Structure 1
Amino acid sequence: MAERNLKQEIQAKLKDDIMQGALSKFAEQYPGSRLNAYKGQDIEGLRESLRAMKHDAVQHINQLADEFEASLKKRGAHVFRAKDGDAVKEYLIRICKENNVKRVVKSKSMASEEIHLNECFGDHNIRVKETDLGEWMIAIKGQKPSHMVMPAIHLNRYQCAEMFEQELHIDVPGEDIPNMIQLARKNLRQEFLQADMGITGANFGIAENGAIGLVTNEGNARLVTTLPRIHVVLIGYEKLIPTTEDAAKILRLLPRNGTCQRMTSYMTMVDGPTKVIYKNDQGKVVEEDRKQYVIILDNGRLEAAKDPVFQQAYQCVRCASCLNVCPIWTLVGGHVYGHIYSGGIGAILTGLFNGVETFAQFSDLCIGCRKCTTVCPGKIPIPDIIDELRSRYVQKHGAPGMDKTMFNMVLNDRGLFHKLLLKAGAIGQAPFKKGKFIRHLPLFMEEMTKGRSLPTIASEPFRDRVERLMKKNPSKPKKKVAYFSGCNMDFVFADTSENVVKVLQSLGMEVVYPMEQACCGKPILGIGDREAGKETAKKNIAAFEKTGADVILSACPTCTETLEETYMKLFENDPEWKARARAFCSKVCEFSKFVAQEYEKTGRLTHARGGEKVTYHDSCHMKRGLGIYEEPRALIDATPGVELVEMHNCDKCCGMAGSFGMKYQEVSIPMLNEKVKNIKDTGATTAVVACPACMMQIGGGLDKADTGIQTKHIADLLAEKL
């Protein structure tokens, strides 16, 4: 694939008001509609059942394929296992020539899009027509699907009408949707009747009997399988399942997640060739067995099945629910992902089918918010697999030089950063400061403050305050707590770090701060450089081992997740450091969780009377990474003089996502603007967060918009009320 200007493509999509309106409306309605479709169901039980079945299937994928092929052949079908798209196309063109096929109709098949099958038919003068209404319309314009289930979701009725007019050469009013549907039905019915070959995908293929399942709402797939004299099934290995009973596990989830229906309009099972009646070239009515060809597509799937990380992609049922809740896809649509599959799962599939080089061109579009993991019916850890693909890319091509240099020379070298760069920055920011924010920067730096203010560098870093703060430690402490500040809480939000210490000391904790600590390593790990991440992890583990602390505490959920979970994964194949990492990770705890537990012990976690209205934003790493969301609310509820008012979409990403917020401001700022609006709508005077990155983003947005609303870390709120 040629090099692309991704930022330019994103900017064009952000200016597409029609697409923006369609996707934002859909994203707003989807979560509630999905939950309504699951009413009375054990969602997590269903998800786990599907995950377990698909996980087991991929462990025996070759055996399933053999059984599937044998079952099909018993029923009279022809089976071909295709190594890649070229093999599929070569096989199909040969079949077309052998059977004098001139016209082909297709129902929606992402696998056929993946291998660019339609273009191949055109090159051989074979007429091919999509019969899914969305696919039919975008094919007229030469577009690719922007969504796996709703390929034309980015269009409105008037754009659809233009496509009808282009195809049918008549005036088509955009206001009359039923009329458009009737026109499409009339036009496509002739295509079904005249076609020599019908091609379908499959939602699943059952090994025990050779049946395929087709889940649709338009019924076109049934016509594709029953009217033409030849039926071709194109199915990827990942769609193979053992039994009919297993199909029920898919059917309980796929419609609910994909279209928010308990069941789609049509559920079709095809289990081999059937009789077909047609007129031959001499006009004679002929009755014979319909030919069925089943093509099982590899194209990288079997290699993925052997990989313990990538095989999790087999748990995907192509419901596209991960797209429906993805804050990035909702803003930029599917086409910027550059290939056929979009969203987080699309990035993974593109990496597996087309290589890590193609994946790397848009890997930044996953911000790791983990919203997708809460709805995926197969419970696929999409962000984790994307991290693995980033790591494989770096192993092959190396980390970007500038990113690695910045990390090693700045974030990971506290001496250099503290003594030189920090002091220079503190002096340089002076002319632009207004309170705790910088609202405007000059010249080439102007873009950095276009949609949000920036927090100022602390006049006194936290590490310079440590000596005097630790003098206030209790003489008879309950526990020794080693504080991991991370970068922002040391050099930007040093006041908040001081408040962390005050709260801990009020609970009878001795607080220590090892000066040798470095960045947690998330910035370099996020781009896939695990070797650099390991060196940072070793530095931190060694530094905190010396403290002899009972607890290692962080007030940044991103740092906490990295210290507690990622460090263990980094050293799983290193016996010496694995043991040290395990001991280190077992002590790590997030600030609000730790404080809530201590409050609970002393009976302080009780409801306090209301007062000033505050609202709370759930950071992505906090809620979905660490599973912490009740504790901060309990602490706020127990704080005298405040009343918690929940905001709309309280757990939707604010758009910071580490370096993403700076690198892709054009996407980050609309996400921030939505968050600012939701905060303002609560009537709160303070927005409470538990993450310094969110504090930076939301605080900057509220300041830039002159809302007068303060942003506070939960440690600030608690310390004020001591």
Structure 2
Amino acid sequence: MESSNRNLKNEINEKLNDQVLRGALGRFAEAYPIARAKAYENVDDVEALREQFRQLKIQTVNNIEAVADQFETAVTKRGGKVFRAKDGDALKQYLLDLCKKANVKRIVKSKSMASEEIHLNHALEEAGLHVKETDLGEWIISLAGHKPSHMVMPAIHLNKEQIAEYFSKELQQEIPTDIPFMVQAARKALRTEFLQADMGISGANFGIAENGAIGLVTNEGNARLVTTLPRVHVVIIGYEKLIPTIQDAAPILRMLPRNATGQRMTSYMTMTTGQVPVMIKQDGKWVEQPKELHVILLDNGRLKAAKDPKFKEIYNCVRCASCLNVCPVYTIVGGHVYGHIYAGGIGAILTAFLHSMGDFDKINELCIGCRKCVTICPGKMNIPGLIEELRAQNVRENGLPFGVKAVVENVLANRKVFHTLLRLASIGQKPFQSGKLIRHLPLFLAGMAKDRSLPAVADVPFRDRVHKVTRQIASPKKRVAFFSGCNIDFIFPETGESVYKVLQDLDMEVVFPEDQSCCGKPVLGMGDRETAKRIARKNIEAFEQTNADVYLAACPTCTETWHETYLELFEDDAEWKPRVEKLAHKFREFSQFIAEEYQKSGRLNKGAGGVKVTYHDSCHMKRGLNIYEEPRQLLDAAQGYDFVEMKDCDKCCGMAGAFGVKYTELSMPILKQKVQNIKDSGAEVIAVGCPACMMQIQGGLDKQLPNVKIKHVADILAENIKNK
């Protein structure tokens, strides 16, 4: 595992230094959201369309065997043959036998990720067959000897100069870097391949059970030639591509082009079914001959996923790759760092089922958990949630690495030990500390503080300050139990003081359960749910004793963990489930709760302007808790501030817990983008609602934009109270 991690790090660094790749991905990441939004302008209700597709997929996967049977019957009725391949080896053997029987020597292919998944081309070429990719992107990477770096645009990592070089070598002539000329040269070179081919192999965007038809959505037209000219047509289709009726193709055709390439529709929409006659040349004459159609239904782990109550959700994937197009990690390093064929978060999940859990284990941490993919996926797949589920499954079966396990069980799960170590860290950091930050570290740790400063552990944690900031409220409107979380308790205790000040200004009694500890999210992120339960039980017991009207956190990650994850952890526990529900249903996030209270008391009127302030939406806040408007309402009402929006306000800052430390080389480019957007906004203050984001952005600002200050929303509200 250590060796594979080093290999991954090497691959990441190589891609980070590939300026062609970085430039191409950067330009595409900028252009894609605009193009997609424009393509959806004429769709009245995008969410309704997504839900229609999701329901279609749910119903289909719940009856996948019956749908597959109907599809096979329809294909057979129309003269085709269906083979159900258990895995890649079975598929390759069937094809090799077919090629031998049909005297196939030359094969043309239209892009099929399933064939890439099982390394089909290599097996065919080893058998002495001439195989030619005919999709322009696939042909380019075959010339380059590369794997696809994207599901829809496999050659996105190359520029026109590189492609012209590959073309010149293949075509044995000087090819200029003129794109239309290169396209025409490719067409001319491939035309002979189509005419001479004995077999055409295509994938399918969907297969229709009621009539046995397959649908192909393309922009080049080569798929039509592959499926019609050769005398043998082979379709490779995964079970997840099956749909019951032709009407079910409508939501796919409406969303796939829009999500994949930002088009309302592609250049070619092809449906083909059954045997059709084909013209072949015999003894110098063209004669008509029935065309052979073979449809291979590929399992390779798909049926196992279909039977799993949680992982059957992967059938919702339409292979549009929109999740890659908005992924902060993918858009920096591309697809090759993921090792296998499928990239991004969805790639990690598919790799687990279609390849191996060992390969999943190598790449799953590259999912930053920002959930941008969830908001854009046509099938509403919870990609980060499924990755966490796979991690948990992996830990149940194999356990955590010894060193990690020791830390989790003996430190994070033991409040007294954990907090004692944090107090010791506040002393041990002194030689490297400058104010509230650590700007430089020695030796092998130096890289961690190269482009960002690190937060220093507070000399006096919030739990030791509570008694100084607690006021007695004569007739409290509500009793609030405050969950500080690790960051506010030990890194930003002043923000905890601000929370108290704001709540007490609203005539609320605030209590701080001393036995509270980490919410358990870091442990959950590793997949260790049993230890997370131990932590959760202690927190639940501590808060039950408060008898509060409201349980509140100023950290969206902690809020979501209490609000949703604790419920999931104890959903099958008869004793703890009702106890969790009682607390979780009253657990609130600070800015949303305060906005409601300010609304009641008439405090949400626009405040007098002043210092420009912008706001960063944390991933857990906006896409986890769906809290977006409330922090802006509070900032807009704050006296002495003038609120302005910044570009990509909801794009991840690159922290993501342990990710920001373990993968500093990836975290930093994401952070730099965020800092640049803050600079471009002209704001003098960046407001946040998440202490983890506060740590990350504060560190970047200190090194790159020191004149801009970062403040939690609670700190800004507390300033207004102080100035009264």
TM-score for the superposition, normalised by structure 1: 0.98
**Deviations along 1:490-509, whole A, 9 cap, x unmatched?**
01101111111111111111
Q: Give the one of 239, 242, 262 matched to 2:264.
A: 262
List aligned pairs for 1:617-632, cutoff 5 A. 617-632=616-631
Alpha-carbon deviations, 1:30-55, whole Å to 9, x = none? 11110100003111111111011011
State whether residues 473 and 509 of structure 1, in contact with CA within 8 Å, keep that contact through their aligned partners in structure 2.
Answer: no
What's the counterpart of residue 101 of structure 2?
98
Q: CA deviation at 1:451?
A: 1.1
> Counterpart in 2 of 1:555?
554
Residue identity matched to 2:361: A
Q: Percent identity?
A: 62
CA offset at residue 609 of structure 1? Answer: 2.2
Residue aligning to 1:484? 483
Give yes or no for contact 1:356–1:392 (8 Å, CA) kept in 2: no
Match of 1:239 in 2: 241
Match 2:136 to one of 133, 137, 142: 133
Structure 1 partner of 2:652: 653
1:22 counterpart residue number: 24
Distance 1:270 1:286 in 2: 22
1:62 aligned partner: 65
What amino acid is the match of 1:502? K
- The code of the aligned residue for 2:431 comes to P
Map of 1:468 onto structure 2 = 468
Alignment of 1:172-187 (within 5 A): 172-174=175-177, 176-187=178-189
Match of 2:398 in 1: 397
Preserved CA contact (<8 Å) 2:611 2:642:
yes
Q: CA deviation at 1:138?
A: 0.3
**1:706 Cα shift?**
4.5
Letter in 2 for 1:451: D
Contact 2:110 2:222 (8 Å CA) reproduced:
yes
1:183-212 Cα offsets, whole Å, 9 max, x none, are 100000000000000000000000000000
Structure 1 residue 587: deviation in Å? 1.3
In the other structure, the counterpart of 1:307 is: 308
2:474 and 2:530 map into 1 onto residues whose CA distance is 42
Runs of 4+ in 1 over 6 A off after TM superposition: none
How much is the aligned-residue C-alpha RMSD, in angstroms? 1.2
Code of the residue aligned with 1:177 in structure 2: it is I
Q: Which residue of structure 2 aligns with residue 350 of structure 1?
A: 351
The one-letter amino acid paired with 1:494 is P
Q: Once structures 1 and 2 are overlaid, which stretch shifts more, 438-447 or 123-132?
A: 438-447
The answer for the alignment partner of 1:453 in structure 2 is 453
Q: Is the 8 A contact 2:653 2:671 kept in 1?
A: yes
**Distance in 2 between residues matched to 1:516 and 1:603, nearest whole Å:** 36
Deviation at 1:697, TM superposition (A): 0.5
Q: 2:173 aligns with which of 153, 170, 174?
A: 170
Matching residue's letter, 1:81 = R
Q: Which piece of structure 1 moves more, 450-459 or 121-130?
A: 450-459
8 Å Cα contact 1:61/1:237 also seen in 2: yes
**2:553–2:590: 8 Å Cα contact kept in structure 1?**
yes
Question: Structure 1: how far apart are the matches of 2:37 and 2:30?
Answer: 13
Contact persistence 1:473–1:511 (CA under 8 A): no
Contact 2:413 2:534 in 1 (8 A): no
Partner of 1:523: 522
CA contact (8 A) 1:404 1:524 kept: no
Structure 2 residue aligned with 1:637: 636
Match of 2:704 in 1: 705
Asked whether the equivalents of residues 206 and 216 of structure 2 are also in contact (C-alpha less than 8 Å), the reply is yes
Conserved? CA contact 1:403–1:524, under 8 Å: no
**2:679–2:705 CA contact under 8 A, matched in 1:** no
Are 1:116 and 2:119 an aligned pair? Answer: yes
- Give yes or no for the alignment of 1:416 onto 2:417: yes
TM superposition shift of 1:606: 1.4
3-state SS, counterpart of residue 327 of structure 1:
coil
Unmatched segments (≥5 aa) in structure 2: none
C-alpha deviation, 1:443, in angstroms? 2.3
Tell me the TM-score normalised to structure 2 length. 0.98
CA distance in 1 between counterparts of 2:460 and 2:213 reads 69
CA displacement at 1:229 relative to structure 2 = 0.4
Which residue of the partner structure matches residue 586 of structure 1? 585
Structure 1 residues 196, 123: closer, same or farther in 2, change over 3 A?
A: same
- The match for 2:33 is 31
The match for 1:207 is 209
SS of match in other structure, 1:721:
helix
Aligned-partner Cα distance in 2 for 1:469–1:706: 32
Counterpart residue identity of residue 89, structure 2: D
Q: What is the rounded CA distance, in whole Å, between the counterparts of 2:688 and 2:316 in structure 1? A: 34
- Which one-letter code corresponds to 2:523 in the other structure? I
Q: Deviations over 1:500-530 (max 9, x none)?
A: 1111111111111111111100001001111
Q: SS at the partner of 1:362?
A: helix
Contact preservation (8 Å) 1:656, 1:693: yes
CA distances 1:519-548 after superposition (whole Å, capped 9, x unpaired) = 100001001111111111111111111111
The 8 Å contact of residues 675 and 705 in structure 2, kept in 1 or not, is answered as: no
Shift of the alpha carbon at 1:404?
Answer: 3.0
CA distance in 2, matches of 1:578, 1:310: 24
1:503-518 counterparts in 2 under 5 A?
A: 503-518=502-517
Take 1:716 and 1:516, find their aligned partners in 2: how far apart are those partners?
A: 25
Deviations 1:618-641 (A, max 9, x none): 000000010001000000001111
| In structure 1, C-alpha distance between the alignment counterparts of 2:534 and 2:427, rounded to whole Å | 32
Shift of 1:173: 1.4
Contact conserved, 1:614 with 1:686, CA < 8 A, in 2? Answer: yes
Query: Does the 8 Å CA contact 2:408/2:531 hold for their aligned counterparts?
Result: no
Equivalent residue, structure 1, for 2:89: 86
Aligned-partner residue type, residue 227 of structure 1: L
Name the SS for the 1:361 alignment partner.
helix
CA contact (8 A) 2:646 2:677 kept: yes
Q: Aligned partners of 2:15, 2:488: CA distance in 1, in Å?
A: 36
Do 1:482 and 1:512's aligned partners in 2 also have CA atoms closer than 8 Å? yes
Aligned-partner Cα distance in 2 for 1:456–1:537: 27
Q: CA deviation at 1:362?
A: 0.5
Give yes or no for contact 1:411–1:487 (8 Å, CA) kept in 2: no
Rounded to whole Å, the distance in 1 between the matches of 2:368 and 2:259 is 22
* 2:413–2:531 Cα contact (<8 Å) kept: no
Q: Which residue pairs with 2:596 in the alignment?
A: 597
Which secondary structure does the structure 1 equivalent of 2:651 belong to?
A: coil
Please give the alpha-carbon distance, in whole angstroms, between the structure 1 residues aligned to 2:418 and 2:376. 41
- Residues 236-290 of structure 1 show CA distances to partners (whole Å, capped at 9, x for unaligned) of 000000000000110010000011111100000001111101113x334321110
Q: Tell me the matched-pair count.
A: 718
How far 1:459 moved relative to its partner? 1.4
Hey, what does 2:437 align to over in structure 1? 437
CA drift of 1:649 comes to: 0.6
Secondary structure at 2:107 match in 1: strand
SS in 1 for 2:280: strand
Give distance in 2, aligned partners of 1:198 and 1:418: 65
Contact 2:554 2:689 in 1 (8 A): yes
Q: Distance in 1 between matches of 2:220 and 2:607?
A: 56
Q: Is the 8 A contact 1:407 1:523 kept in 2?
A: no
Contact 1:617 1:650 in 2 (8 A): yes
Tell me which residue corresponds to 1:569.
568
Q: Which amino acid aligns with 1:560?
A: T
